[in-house]
Structures are given as C-alpha cells and as structure tokens.
Structure 1
Amino acid sequence: MEAVMACWEIEQSLQSLTGVSLGEGTGATMSDDDEEQIDSDANLFDGSMEGPDSLGFGPLVPTESERSLMERVRQELKHELKQGYKEKIVDIREEILRKRRAGKLPGDTTSVLKAWWQSHSKWPYPTEEDKAKLVQETGLQLKQINNWFINQRKRNWHSNPSTSTVLKNKRKK
C-alpha cells in the first residue's frame, strides 16, 4: 500500500510540474493483462533508438515548451538550493579568504618590529606602552604584535648564546 501511495504522490508531483494530466487507468497498480500487453509490446520493439519504431513513435525529444519548463524548474531548484545553503557558502567563502590572508606580515611592518627587536635584543619583551606604540606604527592588532614577538623569541633569541646567559641571569634575580 505504501508503494502505491508513493507512486501516486510521484504522479501528482509530475502532473503539477508538467501540467500534463495522466489518463485514467494509469495508476500505480498493474493487472496481469497489462503485463501481457507490455510483453507483447516489447516483442514488437526492434531495439533501435534511431527513427520511428514499429509502433510509430520516434525518439523522445522534448518540445520547446517542455525544455522551457525543465529550464524553469532547474532554475527554481538552483535558487532554492542556494537559499538553503547560503549561510554555509558564506562561511566557506570567509574561511577561504581568511586562509588567503594568513601568512607573512607586510615587509614595512616587520621592519618596524625588527628595529624594535634589534634595539632591545638583550630583553625583547615589550611593555604594554611599547606594544601600544607598535600597534599605532604598524597598524597591526595587539594579538599580532604579541604573536610576532613570541615567534621571534622562539626562532632567534634562545639560539643566540649571549642572550641565553642574559636569560639565566634575569631568572636568578
């Protein structure tokens, strides 16, 4: 019974999409007589898809109105899908743009940070005032400044033997 109802719903959907009503007796159930008729029709079919077959039907080519209807349905479905996934598309686009922006800082900003680093190489921990000044000079965010100094100290400061002794002396005090 569920299969019959499902077929009926599909018929109704097809009818509403195409505007073509199916004739009487084309429901979802099939009698034994219908099966015999289909078998005899299949025997008449010669198997070629080119040109008219023995029943007088040609290849199935949609009419202009059918093509127009299919295009309209396709556009409506496309629009509905876009609306349904709009937030996801925006999130993905933002993530892609964020990943593109990620990477090295501009050269003019790093030169300002490196200049501060060089002048404070013995103890490269900027005060809050120093960080605020660097934010104004570089246009970077405070978090970017903090991260740059963390990375710079990891990469360069502890590998220098003269600064490692300074670090040990600072820790003792």
Structure 2
Amino acid sequence: MSDDDDEQVDSDVNQFDDGNDSMGFGPLIPTETERSLMERVRQELKHDLKNGYKDKIADIREEILRKRRAGKLPGDTTSVLKAWWQSHSKWPYPTEEDKVKLVEETGLQLKQINNWFINQRKRNWNTNGNASSSSTALKSKRKRS
C-alpha cells in the first residue's frame, strides 16, 4: 500500500465524519496516543498485505519473465529435434510414442514438441519449395490411412 493509498483511505474515512462527536461538542481530534496507535495499525496492515500477496507477486513476475524469454529453445534441445527431423525427412510426423520420447529427451512439453514440428515443417517446406509436393504426399498418405 503506498502513501497515496493511505491518503485515499483517510479521505474515504473523513467523508463519513461530519466533524462532530456523538454528543455534538465539535470535531473529534485524536490524541497523540491515538494517532500513534492508528499509524502503527496502518503500518501493520500494510505489512500484512504485502506479505499476504508476496507469493502471488512473485508468481506474476516469474510468468512475465518466462513470457519475455519465450521464443527460442535451447540449442541442445533443438539439436535433438533436428536430428529426429533429419532421420525422418521423408515423413516428418512423429508418432505419439516418438513424441513421448522427445518430451523425455528434451524436457519440453508435448505442446512445445507439436508446435516445433508444425513450425519446422512450414519453415522447411516453404524454403525448399516442397510445399506443393509435400502437401500432395500428405493427401495421398491420409487417403491410405
């Protein structure tokens, strides 16, 4: 909680204070002891709130950092995937068993493996000019299945 938040809370509280005590004798002015107690309570509340949300804040920071790092896979990981790709260049569609092995070897998630192969096929087939012949092979392979 920032000092601005403290001021907002004070403002909200004062909104309901008509400046008179319950007996109609004028504004209630807290004593020095009461002010000290109110400040201590405010600081304790601020501390408790920060500690209560500390783990959540850390999780959010980690997620933000993870998203910033997203994009490139480690070199040793891609070398495993590329080796599989090269040894299966005629039909670069890993079976479910192949994917499970690749997950174990690379430490990636299944979704990452699937996406890598999707992207690799797009990159490879488009740069090699094989997109049309590969799609024809894919169609004929699907028909046989």
Tell whether the structures are fold-level matches, with TM greater than 0.5.
yes
Deviation of 1:73 after TM superposition, in Å, equals: 5.7
Match among 110, 129, 139 for residue 142 of structure 1? 110
SS at match of 1:158: helix
- Give the gaps of 5 or more residues in structure 1: 22-65
Distance across 2 between alignment mates of 1:170 and 1:76? 66
Match of 2:33 in 1: 19
Between Structure 1 and Structure 2, the one with more helix by share is 2
Alignment of 1:86-125 (within 5 A): 86=54, 89-125=57-93
Query: Contact 1:122–1:163 (CA<8 Å) still a contact in 2?
Result: no
Match of 2:6 in 1: none
Query: Contact 1:135–1:145 (CA<8 Å) still a contact in 2?
Result: yes
Deviation of 1:91 after TM superposition, in Å, equals: 4.7
- Give the gaps of 5 or more residues in structure 2: 1-14, 22-26
Deviation of 1:20 after TM superposition, in Å, equals: 6.1
Alignment of 1:1-173 (within 5 A): 5-8=17-20, 12=28, 15=30, 18-19=32-33, 72=40, 75-82=43-50, 85-86=53-54, 89-162=57-130, 164-172=132-140, 173=143
Report sequence identity in percent.
Answer: 70
RMSD (Å) for aligned C-alpha atoms: 3.6
Deviations 1:107-141 (A, max 9, x none): 10100001111122232111111111111211212
Change (3 A) 1:73 1:99: same
Number of aligned residue pairs:
123
Q: TM-score, normalised by structure 1?
A: 0.54
Match of 2:5 in 1: none
The amino acid across from 1:168 in the alignment is T
